[in-house]
Amino acid sequence: MSSTRQYIEVALPLPVRKTFTYEVPQDLGEAPSPGKRVLVPLGRRLLTGFVLGPAPPLPAHTTILPIREVLEDDVSLSPKLLDFLLWTSAYYLQPLGEVIKTSLPAGTQTRSKETIFLTPKGTEALEILKPESIEKQVLEELARKAGQGITSSSLTRKFSTPIRSLLRKMQEKGWVGKKEDLEMPPVRGKKINWVRVRPFPEEISLTARQREVATFLQNAREIPVAELKARFKNASAVLTKLKAHGLAEIVPQEAFRQPSWEGLEDWIDGPPSLLTEDQDRALREIVASLDSRKYQPFLLHGVTGSGKTEVYLRAIDQALSRGRQALLLVPEISLAGQLVAYFRARTPYPLAVLHSGLSAGERYDEWRKVKKGLARLVIGVRSAIFAPLESLGIIIVDEEHDPSYKQDDKVRYHARDLALVRGKMEGAVVVLGSATPSLESYYNAREGKFRLLSLPKRIDGRPLPEIQVLDMRLEQGEGRERSLFSLPLRKALEETVARGEQAFLFLNRRGFSTFALCRDCGFTYRCPNCNVSLIYHLPDRTFRCHYCDHTLFAADRCPQCASSSLLLFGSGTQRLEEEIKKMIPQIPVARMDRDTTTRKGSHQKILGQLRRGEVNLLVGTQMITKGHDLPRVTLVGVLAADLSLNLPDFRAGERTFQLLTQVAGRAGRSDLPGKVFIQSFNPGHYSIQMAHAQDYTGFFEREVQFRRQMNYPPFVRLVNLRFEDNSEKRITRFAQALEGLVQRKFKEDPKLGKHLEALGPAMAPLGKLKGRHRYQMLFKGKQWKSLHDFVEKIRAEMEAEIPGRGVKLIVDVDPVHML
């Protein structure tokens, strides 16, 4: 036998931190190259995995199974993309197979299923078995499905008896057999039929009507059959005739589903004729870097309404005209719609969109367009950072400070940070844009790691809106009726509406009331799964948990003491809407929050109403703070600036400053000047003061001082190790073991303490969520590499000997949300 057996290393889409080795069957010849998809056996299943390369040597006598099949190329990974995914997996300490899965459109995995079929011996047995016996019924069912077989799970559903042991017995008797069948991936490419014609000789005999179709076909050369049939009633007859003469053929061709962006194109103005001086300078710097073909990160700090989008658009155009590709990341779908329409109208290059608002089929098609090089520009949300672009020239991250760039489930990564990594690997220009850059990014710019580009003025010298901070301790003094509105905000709102202008009212909490409290016994509605107060929702009069959606119907009396003094406290957007309706009954109000935007396209619908002036007042949560450019909005009211300030998170001050500045930036974006009111119980806080003064650098200096003092990013790197379990006993035991292990490590190696720090373990701020108890341990380190290595070691050791089994361990590198 030949000794030249080949082995390959394969990553499987499983939540395990290891790769798998398979043999390349001799008849396959060469081993499949890295990035190719292969079908491999694992236990009793077949799975699709990705080839990483030749396998490292394995201990002797290990059984190694052969790969079953090399799959066709549609979903392969290029070596460059594979490198990027490997880096992502290593840096974020996430299983490689899971990272690869995240990078691909959902539903494209081939899997195997086990089917049962009837054997000839089973057919004989059918004759002799008693009609009422369960064996006979099962065999009859299999006989009905002869040819295709049937899965044991669908048999289980059909018969109430324990089917598996029965099947085993029947298999021993030789009545039934089992086989592995491949299940087609649920999402596939779509093909449609096209007619293709050759030039017709003159002498072919056609009626006048048929000649009409033939002439059309001659000119078109190629057209989808369905389209031809829609145009001509007699198309089928003509086609049959032409096919008979060998003059036409039917060719199946790939079709791409087209996501719709209806109703968006109509509001787009023509291109601005001239860039402002600042825009022009920024663009020239970016283009110069593009030409150098080297990695160069920029931070584009432009105040709200300074025309950042125009800079993105022209920079992208420049990259595309140089034959390279571009990626534009946006934080949310609600923004993607606006930008896509803008780019569709303005650039001649084919583009693809990637976001979760598309159906699985649309997403797959958009992805394939990119993969096949049919799209030159990709606009998408965070997962688009993995788009299979092959010659990236520029990556732009719009609103780079936005927390939604951080993925907080399954694979935890930060798309803005990955944009920099990918840019470096590709030798591309990376532009991070924001009116309120993240502290990390601005710090990097100041340290010279990024080049800073600024647009300090609004377009056409429009003034930034005038901001007033209202001290709610004074506004809601003794004897005054408790209202969400201070007098000045209420007056301004009435005047704005009377002038026919528009207003945004921002309250960062949905629902009606935050909580209910019984005056007599102190009862409050709390979620049994999450240990947080339930929020009151109108109009269905329910109390709902905002984490797990646990829902209770409101009772008229206190469920505990039956007193009628169950009072509602705190307010959400629903209550705000109600209050406005009472205050100014004649004015139509729209609300934008998670409750009103669950349907596809609902963002666009609400924005459309505002644009057409059907609605002049928008109330909403942080969704309304983002990017919208509505020229008639002249008033912005922030009802409770303290909401984000009081979160138990070191970024609370930064988030508050960002939210206030962004929402204020929605006002006065055209010729009409804007006014902003910020209501707060804590008006002296520097986040509110600096937002008031619209002083980003002033805020930055204060915040950076705090971060340095408290040892938070950008001065250290963080990794949060979270662990969850539904048993409180197991989780506390686990916490003790973890604490012990970490202490031991620090004692064994006293040098560790010089650059590493471990905080906790402690209960997470949301100590119980969806029925699970949550604890966390926070690690800080001066250098990321040693920090990550340390945490990975701890994780592996804890996982190897988890004292209470079932504890779920979550590693969160560079955490953003630490609740």
Q: Contact positions toward Zn ion, by CB under 5 A?
A: 518, 520-521, 523, 527, 529-530, 545, 547-548, 550, 558, 560-561, 563
Name which of 128 and 274 has its Cβ closer to ligand ADP: 274
Are the C-beta atoms of residues 641 and 679 closer than 8 Å to each other? yes
Q: Which does 529 bind (CB under 5 to 8 A by kind): Zn ion, ligand ADP, none?
A: Zn ion
Q: Measured from the CB of residue 289, what is the shortest distance to ligand ADP in angstroms?
A: 21
Measured distance CA(704)–CA(439) in Å, rounded? 7
Measured distance CA(406)–CA(94) in Å, rounded? 14
Measured distance CA(659)–CA(625) in Å, rounded? 7
Q: Which does 309 bind (CB under 5 to 8 A by kind): Zn ion, ligand ADP, none?
A: ligand ADP
Which amino acid is located at 116 in the chain? I
Name which of 73 and 549 has its Cβ closer to Zn ion: 549
Name which of 537 and 675 has its Cβ closer to ligand ADP: 675
DSSP 526: B
Measured distance CA(485)–CA(476) in Å, rounded? 9
Which residue stretches of 6-133 are H helix?
79-91, 96-103, 120-128
Q: Measured from the CB of residue 643, what is the shortest distance to ligand ADP in angstroms?
A: 24
- Residue 57 CB partners (closer than 8 Å, separation 6+): none
Q: Which does 276 bind (CB under 5 to 8 A by kind): Zn ion, ligand ADP, none?
A: ligand ADP
Q: Which does 459 bind (CB under 5 to 8 A by kind): Zn ion, ligand ADP, none?
A: ligand ADP
Name which of 302 and 361 has its Cβ closer to ligand ADP: 302
Name which of 513 and 694 has its Cβ closer to Zn ion: 513
Give helix then strand counts, H and E, for the chain.
Answer: 26, 33
Name which of 266 and 728 has its Cβ closer to Zn ion: 728
C-alpha dist (Å) from residue 454 to 25, 109, 155, 304, 445? 59, 45, 66, 12, 11
- Which one, of 74, 346, 20, 347, lies nearest residue 190 by Cα? 74
Three-state DSSP class for residue 20 = strand
Measured distance CA(631)–CA(629) in Å, rounded? 6
- Site residues for ligand ADP, 470-489, by CB under 6 A, read none
- Site residues for ligand ADP, 255-284, by CB under 6 A, read 272, 274-276, 279
Q: Does 672 bind ligand ADP (CB under 6 A)?
A: no
- Residue 665 CB partners (closer than 8 Å, separation 6+): 303, 304, 305, 435, 464, 465
Q: Does 306 bind ligand ADP (CB under 6 A)?
A: yes
At which residue do the structure tokens 């060469």 appear? 30
- Residue 600 CB partners (closer than 8 Å, separation 6+): 357
DSSP E strand stretches across 340-413? 351-354, 377-380, 392-398
Kindly determine how many residues on this chain lie close enough to bind ligand ADP according to the rule CB under 6 A.
15
Residue from 308, 544, 707, 722 binding ligand ADP (CB under 6 A): 308
Measured distance CA(143)–CA(781) in Å, rounded? 65
Query: Cα angle at 675 between 674 and 680, to 5 degrees?
Result: 145
Q: Measured from the CB of residue 555, what is the shortest distance to Zn ion in angstroms?
A: 10
Q: Does 307 bind ligand ADP (CB under 6 A)?
A: yes
Which amino acid is located at 322 in the chain? R
Name which of 133 and 563 has its Cβ closer to Zn ion: 563
Q: Measured from the CB of residue 660, what is the shortest distance to ligand ADP in angstroms?
A: 15
Q: Measured from the CB of residue 343, what is the shortest distance to ligand ADP in angstroms?
A: 12
Q: Which does 629 bind (CB under 5 to 8 A by kind): Zn ion, ligand ADP, none?
A: ligand ADP
Q: Measured from the CB of residue 38, what is the shortest distance to ligand ADP in angstroms?
A: 45
Q: Measured from the CB of residue 157, what is the shortest distance to ligand ADP in angstroms?
A: 54
Indicate the helix (H) or strand (E) that contains 688: helix 686-693
Name which of 125 and 339 has its Cβ closer to ligand ADP: 339
Name which of 390 and 460 has its Cβ closer to ligand ADP: 460
At which residue do the structure tokens 């571009």 appear? 326
Q: Measured from the CB of residue 658, what is the shortest distance to ligand ADP in angstroms?
A: 14
Are the C-beta atoms of residues 194 and 223 closer than 8 Å to each other? yes
Piece of 141-149, 297-305, 369-377, 772-780 that binds ligand ADP (CB under 6 A): 297-305
C-alpha dist (Å) from residue 679 to 17, 164, 345, 415, 661? 49, 66, 40, 33, 14
Length in residues, the chain: 819
Secondary structure percentages of the chain, helix, strand, coil, to 5: 35, 25, 40
Q: Measured from the CB of residue 276, what is the shortest distance to ligand ADP in angstroms?
A: 5
Name which of 152 and 529 has its Cβ closer to Zn ion: 529
Piece of 16-24, 298-306, 359-367, 789-797 that binds ligand ADP (CB under 6 A): 298-306
Distance of CA 691 to the CA centre of its chain: 29
Residue from 309, 338, 434, 776 binding ligand ADP (CB under 6 A): 309
Name which of 233 and 557 has its Cβ closer to Zn ion: 557
Q: Does 629 bind ligand ADP (CB under 6 A)?
A: yes
- Residue 220 CB partners (closer than 8 Å, separation 6+): none
Piece of 66-74, 98-106, 308-316, 439-447 that binds ligand ADP (CB under 6 A): 308-316
Distance of CA 182 to the CA centre of its chain: 30
Name which of 306 and 658 has its Cβ closer to ligand ADP: 306
Q: Kind of pairing, strands 392-398 and 429-434?
A: parallel
Q: Does 337 bind ligand ADP (CB under 6 A)?
A: no
The token duo for 621 is 């949560």
Measured distance CA(45)–CA(151) in Å, rounded? 13
Q: Measured from the CB of residue 525, what is the shortest distance to Zn ion in angstroms?
A: 11
Three-state DSSP class for residue 286 = helix
At which residue do the structure tokens 């993995």 appear? 386
Q: Which does 272 bind (CB under 5 to 8 A by kind): Zn ion, ligand ADP, none?
A: ligand ADP
Piece of 289-297, 305-313, 315-323, 378-386 that binds ligand ADP (CB under 6 A): 305-313
Which amino acid is located at 512 in the chain? F
Three-state DSSP class for residue 530 = coil
Q: Measured from the CB of residue 308, what is the shortest distance to ligand ADP in angstroms?
A: 4
Q: Which does 279 bind (CB under 5 to 8 A by kind): ligand ADP, Zn ion, none?
A: ligand ADP
- Which one, of 616, 671, 682, lies nearest residue 643 by Cα? 682
Strand partners, 468: 677
Measured distance CA(774)–CA(760) in Å, rounded? 13
Name which of 523 and 650 has its Cβ closer to Zn ion: 523
Q: Measured from the CB of residue 32, what is the shortest distance to Zn ion in angstroms?
A: 47
- Which one, of 651, 34, 601, 590, lies nearest residue 262 by Cα? 601
Q: Measured from the CB of residue 621, what is the shortest distance to Zn ion in angstroms?
A: 19
Q: Which does 561 bind (CB under 5 to 8 A by kind): Zn ion, ligand ADP, none?
A: Zn ion
Q: Measured from the CB of residue 376, what is the shortest distance to ligand ADP in angstroms?
A: 22
Q: Which does 302 bind (CB under 5 to 8 A by kind): ligand ADP, Zn ion, none?
A: ligand ADP
- Site residues for ligand ADP, 342-401, by CB under 6 A, read none
Residue from 94, 115, 304, 625 binding ligand ADP (CB under 6 A): 304
Q: Measured from the CB of residue 379, what is the shortest distance to ligand ADP in angstroms?
A: 15
Name which of 102 and 334 has its Cβ closer to ligand ADP: 334
Give the x-and-dash track for 429-468 against ligand ADP (CB under 6 A).
------------------------------x---------
Q: Measured from the CB of residue 665, what is the shortest distance to ligand ADP in angstroms?
A: 6
Measured distance CA(637)–CA(302) in Å, rounded? 23
Q: Measured from the CB of residue 406, what is the shortest distance to ligand ADP in angstroms?
A: 22
Which residue stretches of 543-651 are H helix?
573-583, 602-611, 642-645
Q: Which residues bind ligand ADP (CB under 6 A)?
A: 272, 274-276, 279, 302, 304-310, 459, 629
